[in-house]
Structure 1
Amino acid sequence: MVKTKLEQRLIDALEAEASARDIDIVDVELTGATKAPCVRVRLEKADGSALSLDDVCAQNCWVSAVVEDIDPVAGRYTLEVSSPGMARPLRRPRDFARFVGQTAQIGFIQTQGPDGRSRLTGLIQSANEDCVTIAPKDGEPLAVPFEAIKKATLKPSYDFGRAREGK
């Protein structure tokens, strides 16, 4: 996965603090316009389980202190601390391996994707330290090197029909 130097610096600093708190840094993202920048930090428990809203609030102080120490943006910015949510970012090889059998959407750096694609959606078949194998609906499985991936997220599926039936 390709991260900016600043995003990687934030990830490294946060991960150093998170391990002592039994927390895993899922992702760090710098977003927003120049006049309204945002530092988005997504957390979960080290065992992969979700954090409650109270848990996220309890982590906010130390996350804020680490981010402030790095001072990633000149001037004002918004800090968002949250759980990863349904469209969970996938950043590390172990994230892809954890979600084998689920659908992911991958965005590539420029046109470094297979067949010149800029985006690929498909089932995660396998992952190792170098690449992830994705099976798109429209073709054969493709091995995608992590260094070609700009952004990857789980693509949640909703089955509203079962909810209506009461199942």
Structure 2
Amino acid sequence: MVKTKVEQSIIDALEAVAADHGVDIVDVEVVGATKAPCVRVRIDNLDGESISLDEVTAQSSWVSDVVEGLDPISSSYTLEVSSPGMARPLRRPSDFQKFIGERCELSAIATEGQRRYKGIIAAADEASVTLETEDGEQTSISFDDVKKGTLKPTFDFKKEKGGK
């Protein structure tokens, strides 16, 4: 996955202590204006259970301490610690392997004129992910070329209502 040096340094620093807190560092993004950017840290429970808002609040203190200690941005910035949410970022090969069979969207370095890919995660190994598109074709993309990966949840609002 393609990450900036600042993002990767924050990920590395947080991952060095995250397991001690029972937390998985899902993703780190630095977004916004260069004068006052936002550092977004998405965390989840290491055991695979979804993290609650109270747990995110409890974990925010050590995350802040680690990021402050690293001092990755010379100007002022906002630190945002949150859960991965429904549209969960996919950063590591293990993330893609965990969600085989789920819908996702990727943006990648352009290959054969295409940058965006949508489909079901059909397979993933340490080197690449294979997506099955809506037309049934499979496309393999190297993780070295992936800029961003996100789960795309499916909502079914037309479920049959009981008794009707």
Return the letter of the residue paired with 1:165.
K
> Counterparts of 2:18 and 2:90 in 1: how far apart (Å)?
18
Task: State the alpha-carbon separation in 2 of the partners of residues 138 and 152 from structure 1.
Answer: 20
Deviations 1:14-67 (A, max 9, x none): 011101111100001111112331000000111121111110000000000111
Distance in 1, matches of 2:128 and 2:162, equals 40
TM-score, normalization by structure 1: 0.93
More helix by share: 1
- Measured on the aligned residues, the alpha-carbon RMSD in Å equals 1.5
Provide the rounded CA distance (Å) in 1 between the counterparts of 2:162 and 2:36: 44
Alignment match, 2:13:
13
What is the rounded CA distance, in whole Å, between the counterparts of 1:166 and 1:104 in structure 2? 31
Gaps of 5+ in 2: none
The 4+ residue runs of structure 1 with deviation greater than 4 A are none
Question: What is the aligned length?
Answer: 163
Does residue 119 (structure 1) correspond to residue 116 (structure 2)? The answer is yes
Q: Counterparts of 2:162 and 2:29 in 1: how far apart (Å)?
A: 38
The change in CA–CA distance for 1:166 and 1:107 in structure 2 (over 3 A counts) is farther
* 1:146 aligned onto 2:143: yes
Report whether the alignment pairs 1:136 with 2:128. no
2:54 is aligned with 1:58: no
Query: Equivalent pairs: percent with the same residue?
Result: 55
Q: Greater shift after overlay, 27-36 or 143-152? A: 27-36
- Number of the residue aligned with 2:87: 87
Write the distance in 2 (CA, Å) between the matches of 1:43 and 1:166.
Answer: 37
The match for 1:3 is 3
TM-score (norm 2): 0.94
CA distance, structure 1, for counterparts of residue 101 and residue 21 of structure 2: 30
Amino acid across the alignment from 1:146: F
